[in-house]
Amino acid sequence: MRGLNFEQKQESLSESLDEILKHLNDDQPPAVFTGSVPINNCLPGLHRQLPNPLLSPSVAPLIWLGNRVTVQTHYDPYSNIACVGAGRRRFTLFPPSQIHNLYVGPIDLTPAGQPVSMVKLHEPDFIRYPRFKEALAAAEFAELEPGDAIYIPELWWHHVESLEAFNVLVNYWWVNDRVGPDAPYTCMMHGLMSIRTLPKPARLAWRELFDHYVFRMNEDAVDHLDVKNRGILGKVTPQNYNNIKQQFVGLFQRDQPKK
């Protein structure tokens, strides 16, 4: 993968809409797609008519416009409720456990920030990507019409097809409970630097530590310690969060090469 097969540009929502409508009746229109636009920025006032009763009022709706386009299989680091406003959309979902079978492309050259599967969903090359058969066996499918909605948990892979000449989607992204703003993705990127190149026995040993302390595979990891003696292993309160962050900053600065 050396590049992208589309052009990106900034324009107003009305300009994008005009481009879609200009080619509405074409037999082979150019693909036009405008995505993830905060409704309050482009359609002031409309967001107040689109509250999601399942979510906090602070979760702002986003709008997506396009003709018959396909968004390749990818994940988002947020939970998502997506509602079809016009047209039809077909969603194909894969659980996070299928990452090994999806043949994911690079994470630093992507269409829109998130890595994508290199396999064409409807024309899979099973000789080149044989494990994709296992991913398909685990897939879930949903076709949505106006008024329908779908919930996509964070990190679930999804392939999205817009099926009509004109399609509108409104979605709500939110992050689940976090004490601070730090993203888990940041931790993974640091792991690429610090853990990936270790010998396999060391990587497996570190996985045990991560499972124990971070992923809490053993819920009783610190039950043997008095609450007052658990330090940063205790409940992640705002104060504890700041203590962890201070230690992290100190460790990161210590690990930098001396000039």
pLDDT of residue 144: 98
Mean pLDDT of 159-181: 89
Contacts (Cβ under 8 Å, ≥6 apart) of 100: 131
Least confident window among 4-13, 15-24, 159-168, 212-221: 4-13
In a domain, 114, yes or no: yes
Are residues 40 and 161 both part of a single domain?
yes
Please report which confidence band the pLDDT of residue 257 belongs to, taking 50, 70 and 90 as the band edges: low
Are residues 165 and 225 both part of a single domain?
no
List, for residues 79-108, the tens digit of each pLDDT value. 999 999 999 999 999 999 999 999 999 988
In a domain, 134, yes or no: yes
Task: Examine the fold and report which residue of 120, 140, 174 is the final residue of a domain before the chain moves on.
Answer: 174
Are residues 34 and 86 both part of a single domain?
yes
Contact yes or no for 133/94 (Cβ under 8 A): no
- Strand partners of residue 37: 63
Query: The CATH number of the domain where 131 resides is what?
Result: 2.60.120.10
Mean pLDDT of 44-61: 88
pLDDT of residue 67: 94
Are residues 65 and 106 both part of a single domain?
yes
Are residues 223 and 101 both part of a single domain?
no
Task: Examine the fold and report which residue of 127, 146, 174 is the final residue of a domain before the chain moves on.
Answer: 174
Is the pLDDT reported for residue 219 higher than 80? no
Are residues 154 and 223 both part of a single domain?
no
Is the pLDDT reported for residue 61 higher than 90? yes
In a domain, 258, yes or no: no
In a domain, 2, yes or no: no
pTM: 0.88
Which has more pLDDT, 9 or 172?
172
Are residues 59 and 157 both part of a single domain?
yes
Q: How far apart are CA 246 and CA 259, in angstroms?
A: 23
Is the pLDDT reported for residue 151 higher than 80? yes
Mean pLDDT of the chain: 90
Task: Examine the fold and report which residue of 146, 174, 202 is the final residue of a domain before the chain moves on.
Answer: 174
Are residues 238 and 120 both part of a single domain?
no
Which has more pLDDT, 237 or 252?
237
List, for residues 21-52, the tens digit of each pLDDT value. 999 988 899 888 998 899 988 888 888 888 89
Are residues 139 and 204 both part of a single domain?
no
Is the pLDDT reported for residue 125 higher than 70? yes
Are residues 106 and 138 both part of a single domain?
yes
Local structure of residue 234 (DSSP, 8 states): S
Contact yes or no for 241/232 (Cβ under 8 A): no
Which has more pLDDT, 9 or 205?
205
In a domain, 170, yes or no: yes
Mean pLDDT of 189-206: 94
pLDDT of residue 259: 61
Are residues 164 and 194 both part of a single domain?
no
The tally of domains found in the chain comes to 2
In a domain, 223, yes or no: yes
Are residues 163 and 188 both part of a single domain?
no
In a domain, 5, yes or no: no
| Burial degree of 110 (CB within 10 A; 0-12, 13-18, 19+) | middle
In a domain, 6, yes or no: no
Is the pLDDT reported for residue 178 higher than 80? no
Residue 229's domain comprises 184-253
